[in-house]
């Protein structure tokens, strides 16, 4: 399953990927104008109109003795897409594992297991409020679909240039982190390295207290 998804995202079969990508974008664009029920029902009617037309055409050819009486979609009917018990158990375990991992991660974020991670999550949620004002869920889904089908192909075509940019950014971040660590170390070491009071100063302080 994962290999098939990668084949689609990396355009290894151009015709199949183009059909899937076009179908997803057109379907999402239709959702802006019509409801999901309307789109699904019309899509089903379109498929049934095509399959019924082909089936009646083959049946007519068989009646006039111009066909062999074969079913035009027999190859699709013979395909076994049923899940075995082992496949069902494996899929169910994967779904439960993903849900349990997500719930555990959200629990740690909401109940402040790590302050820094929770603050990052708060900032992310705050940014999402602005994203929600500017766009809706369908826009984000369509943007995600377009990025999913375009970014892997862009990385494949410009891999060396992108890797150079990523390495430069990582080096810059590493230098900034080193500078911050150095500053924090110097600030922490200043109180410890403060000069101790001389003996004469300590004697004067004792005389004043007397």
pTM beyond 0.95: the answer is no
Per the CB < 8 A criterion, the answer to whether 43 and 35 are in contact is: no
- The answer as to whether 119 is a domain residue is yes
Sole residue written with tokens 């995202």: 9
Question: Structure tokens of 162?
Answer: 């992108």
Percent pLDDT > 90 in the chain is 20
Question: Structure tokens of 37?
Answer: 């029920």
Question: Structure tokens of 131?
Answer: 């994203």
- The answer as to whether 65 is a domain residue is no
Per the CB < 8 A criterion, the answer to whether 61 and 67 are in contact is: yes
Per the CB < 8 A criterion, the answer to whether 87 and 94 are in contact is: no
- The answer as to whether 204 is a domain residue is no
- The answer as to whether 184 is a domain residue is no
pLDDT tens digits along 88-111: 888 899 999 999 999 999 999 999
Distance CA 150, CA 158 (A): 12
Q: Please enumerate in sequence order all residues whose Cβ is within 8 A of that of 26, keeping only pairs 6 or more positions apart, or say none.
A: none
Question: Structure tokens of 17?
Answer: 């990927």
- The answer as to whether 208 is a domain residue is no
Question: Structure tokens of 185?
Answer: 């170390």
Q: What is the pLDDT of residue 194?
A: 47
Per the CB < 8 A criterion, the answer to whether 30 and 39 are in contact is: yes
Residue 141 pLDDT level (bands cut at 50, 70, 90) = confident
- The answer as to whether 122 is a domain residue is yes
DSSP helix/strand/coil, 41: helix
Give the chain's mean pLDDT: 83
Residue 201 pLDDT level (bands cut at 50, 70, 90) = low
Per the CB < 8 A criterion, the answer to whether 138 and 32 are in contact is: yes
pLDDT tens digits along 38-95: 988 998 999 999 999 999 998 888 888 777 778 888 888 887 777 777 888 888 999 9
- The answer as to whether 116 is a domain residue is yes
Residue-range definition of the domain harbouring residue 125: 88-134
- The answer as to whether 78 is a domain residue is no
Q: How many distinct structural domains can be found in the chain? A: 1
Name which residue leads in pLDDT, 149 or 70: 149
């Amino acid at each position: 399953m994962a290999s098939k998804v990668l084949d689609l995202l990396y355009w290894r079969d151009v015709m199949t990927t183009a059909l899937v990508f076009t179908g997803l974008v057109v379907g999402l664009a239709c959702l802006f104008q019509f409801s999901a029920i309307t789109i699904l029902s019309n899509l089903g009617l379109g498929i049934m109109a095509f399959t019924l037309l082909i089936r009646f055409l083959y049946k007519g050819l068989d009646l006039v003795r111009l066909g062999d009486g074969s079913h035009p979609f027999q190859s699709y009917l013979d395909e076994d897409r049923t899940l075995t018990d082992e496949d069902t158990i494996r899929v169910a375990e994967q779904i439960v594992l993903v849900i349990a991992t997500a719930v555990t991660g959200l629990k740690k974020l909401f109940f402040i297991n790590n302050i820094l991670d929770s603050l990052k999550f708060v900032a992310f949620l705050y940014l999402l409020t602005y994203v929600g004002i500017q766009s809706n869920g369908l826009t984000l889904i369509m943007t995600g679909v377009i990025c999913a089908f375009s970014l892997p192909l862009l990385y494949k075509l410009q891999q060396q240039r992108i890797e150079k940019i990523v390495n430069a950014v990582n080096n810059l971040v590493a230098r900034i982190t080193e500078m911050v660590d150095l500053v924090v170390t110097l600030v922490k070491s200043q109180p410890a390295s403060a000069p101790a009071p001389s003996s004469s100063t300590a004697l004067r302080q004792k005389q004043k207290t007397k």
